[in-house]
Structure 1
Amino acid sequence: MQLHPLPAFTDNYIWLLRDGNGRALIVDPGDSAPVLAALADGPPPLAILLTHHHSDHIGGVADLLAHWPALPVYGPDDPRLPATHRIGAGERLRIGDWHWQVLAVPGHTRSHVAYVGQGLLFCGDTLFSLGCGRLFEGTAEQMYASLTRLAALPDDTQVCCAHEYTAANAAFALTVDPDNPALHARATQVRQLRAQGRPTLPVTLALERASNPFLRCHIPALHAAAARWAGGKPGDAVDTFARLRAWKDGFRA
């Protein structure tokens, strides 16, 4: 099994997973060009997985279907997605030799899903390394529940986010959680990787739980930081998450 993050646009990753025979699974192809280039000399892909309807995640699907008309496209049951196979929370998919579980993770969008299998998590724009997605259609309660659901996966789960936002996220995380040694270590690693032109992803869920402030909203230090920013008393984990997300929305390093 080989996993490749294909850069697209300014900071997107289209994930490509290959089996031992070179057959590929494509995740969130916002642009067809990187996918067609990567698969030019190989067999037809097995399927496309879509996490949500935003154009930078689905924009390449039509062109890929023009090349491979029978290619299955799995996605949430939402008419805004060009899915040929509508899937919902709790479903289990078998694609080639791989097995995937579908998780509902609303918040960024109302129909957002994630796919878990083979020790991998394809989470679209719900969870980022050292960050999380904006609340475009969902509530803070929904997004925090989604992040909590993802954080409960095994420690060695490889988090495959859809954007290279980690360096910018690190600047915010260090502002709100400055005494966290795991975060400082991750920020140093991120600077080194980006200086070498390398992706910061995938990353283990254990490392994210230790360093991502949006997965640490139950920690008293994060309660206090969010309260100081908002000018109020510390709240519970959901309130802390809502304050941190609002803080991040306007944050400039």
Structure 2
Amino acid sequence: MRLWPIPALNDNYIWLLADGEGNALAVDPGEAAPLQAVLDDRNLRLRSILLTHHHPDHIGGVAGLCAREPIEVYAPRDERIGIATHRVDDGDRIEIAFPACRFEVIAVPGHTRSHVAYHGQDLLFCGDTLFSIGCGRLFEGTPAQMLESLERLAALPGHTRICCGHEYTMANCAFALTVEPHNRALEARFEHVRKARSANQPTVPSLLSEELACNPFLRADAPGIIESLNALQIEACSRVDRFAALRRLKDSFRA
């Protein structure tokens, strides 16, 4: 299997997974044109689409792609996603025939109420729930819901490749260093990210093991983060309180 992050819109990624026989699967095609260009260039046929949530920058290209030929579309149960041939729920195991792969569906509410992630082939397609060194904004969920969702993802094997929906890593690293400034793994990650972006290369996928070492939203119990919140005089006694405080700080952060 080959995996590509395809840049789309302003800072989105469409994920493309293909086998050696020209069969392809796409995740969250926010627009059709960049995906179709890669399909045509590599002589691939799009057979299936996985959707993580209803936001237009993740589903906007689906109708145009499906107008060309029949495509299986897997999506969470949400009336805001109109085009779907298969509705999925937490714990479902889906089998894709072409390219041959299997995924477990994981409900991850927080960014939206019906957000799901797909785990399989040592890949995690997580939309806007978990980012490289970050997490999604809480548009429809609570801090407790989002933290529980992230904890479920954090329990996956460390070698899992995190395939998120946006190129946010530079700004996320800059924020993370403000709340955990002495994290050497984070400093090394930021240097790697700077080099990648200066060469116009994607910073994803990352490994879950890297996220556990660097991502503040997976590290609410880290002593350095607790120390930073205390220095800001933020009362955050519980893990949920600390996560919520980090999310509020990130919402107002400007790199």
TM-score (norm 2): 0.96
Aligned length: 251
Matches of residues 80-95 of structure 1 in structure 2 within 5 Å?
80-81=80-81, 82-95=83-96
Distance, in Å, in 1 between the alignment partners of 2:215 and 2:239 is 14
Distance, in Å, in 2 between the alignment partners of 1:140 and 1:234 is 13
**1:64 to 2:65 alignment:** yes
Instruction: Rate the CA distance shift 1:45–1:245 in 2: closer, same or farther, 3 A.
Output: same
Residues 22 and 45 in structure 2, CA contact (< 8 A), matched pair in contact too: no
Aligned partner of residue 46 in structure 1, secondary structure: strand
Structure 2: stretches of 5+ with no match in the other structure = none
The amino acid that maps onto 1:240 is: R
Equivalence for 2:250: 248
The amino acid that maps onto 2:145 is: Q
User: Cα RMSD between the aligned structures?
Assistant: 1.0
Equivalence for 2:203: 200
**How far apart are 1:235 and its partner, in Å?**
1.5
Distance, in Å, in 2 between the alignment partners of 1:22 and 1:34 is 18
4+ aligned runs moved over 4 Å, structure 1: none
Q: Among residues 139, 163, 174, which one is paired with 1:136 in the alignment?
A: 139
Equivalence for 1:5: 5
Q: Among residues 158, 161, 175, which one is paired with 2:164 in the alignment?
A: 161
**1:49 to 2:50 alignment:** yes
Equivalence for 1:215: 218
Cα deviation 1:224-249 (Å, max 9, x = unaligned):
322333x2434221110000000000
Instruction: Rate the CA distance shift 1:228–1:62 in 2: closer, same or farther, 3 A.
Output: same
Residues 223 and 235 in structure 1, CA contact (< 8 A), matched pair in contact too: no
**How far apart are 1:40 and its partner, in Å?**
1.5
Structure 1: stretches of 5+ with no match in the other structure = none
Matches of residues 93-242 of structure 1 in structure 2 within 5 Å?
93-96=94-97, 97-229=100-232, 231-242=233-244
The amino acid that maps onto 1:17 is: L
Aligned partner of residue 177 in structure 2, secondary structure: helix
